[in-house]
Structure 1
């Protein structure tokens, strides 16, 4: 964990989602961060210096796997005394956003840059559960009632 501010859990799968969360480093480097990520070559390499809890990629329609993942997420939030959850995506984020909502922990959803059309189910669920939604296109402000436009992250 990075020493410093708020205990923040960063949740990510691989690829562009990971790049979006990494692009927020100027902000989160002042936080005490830990990660939940889907293990893949890029996540393993780019997160090698951090505390990471590896999770399998989750399909939101697999209810049994979702329940088990929410229980693991609740345990991680309590055990890490997490004060904020931040993610840009995919199924791995859903149980953490649900657990955060149940625990009263704020969660920030970062809508990925390439989502211009209709977002996937995981993105819609996370945005609905989030305390704050961050978008990278001004035209997406109307999609989310709690949205703020930060522009392109990278």
Structure 2
């Protein structure tokens, strides 16, 4: 199986790294921001750097959509896994179009309100995971997995 792990640097990347038991034996590639933490954490991994900032930045949304189209057709992953943030949106929507399985993990620190990315990808995710039972209030079809931390 080939896995694409897509997420912002910082806490979102940390969430994906904590899923190592799921991806460590699989062929994989990463898509994230080129920052110190991601360069260090992914030193020996196959990484594609996406464009940032992504918050309310339509120009980088367009650039990341083009990047997603090219990468998904080149890499042909069987599944995409993300914990957000905005960079996940173009990858998930194009992934859905290309019939790639989509797994989304809602972040640990958003208990009483949903994330914008979570709300955007929830309708198309094949598997939507939550780390708190309280998050099921927003994502009724979400699967509770408990906290990673």
TM-score (norm 2): 0.90
In structure 2, distance between residues paired with 1:99 and 1:58 = 20
- Superposed CA offset, 1:59-82 (max 9, x none): 364445423322221211110111
Stretches of structure 2 lacking an aligned partner (at least 5 in a row): none
Output the CA distance in 1 between the equivalents of 2:83 and 2:147. Answer: 13
State whether structure 2 residue 91 is matched by structure 1 residue 96.
yes
For the 8 Å contact 1:60–1:121, the answer to whether it is kept is: no
TM-score by length of 1: 0.88
* C-alpha distance in 2 between matches for 1:80 and 1:18: 20
Q: Secondary structure at the match of 2:45?
A: coil
CA distance in 1, matches of 2:53, 2:116: 12
Cα distance in structure 1, aligned partners of 2:59 and 2:124: 20
Aligned to 2:122: 127
CA contact (8 A) 1:58 1:91 kept: no
Does the residue aligned with 1:43 lie in a helix, a strand or coil? Answer: helix
SS class of match (2:100): coil
Which stretches in structure 1 are left out of the alignment for 5+ residues?
1-5
Q: Say if 2:47 is the partner of 1:52.
A: yes
Task: Give CA-to-partner distance per residue, 1:11-46, whole Å, 9 cap, x none.
Answer: 121221111111100111122110001111111100
Please state how far the C-alpha of 1:129 moved relative to its aligned partner: 2.7
Q: Could you say what the CA RMSD is over the residues aligned between the two structures, in angstroms?
A: 1.7
CA distance in 2, matches of 1:22, 1:70: 24
Counterpart position of 2:28: 33
Question: Size of the alignment, in residue pairs?
Answer: 149
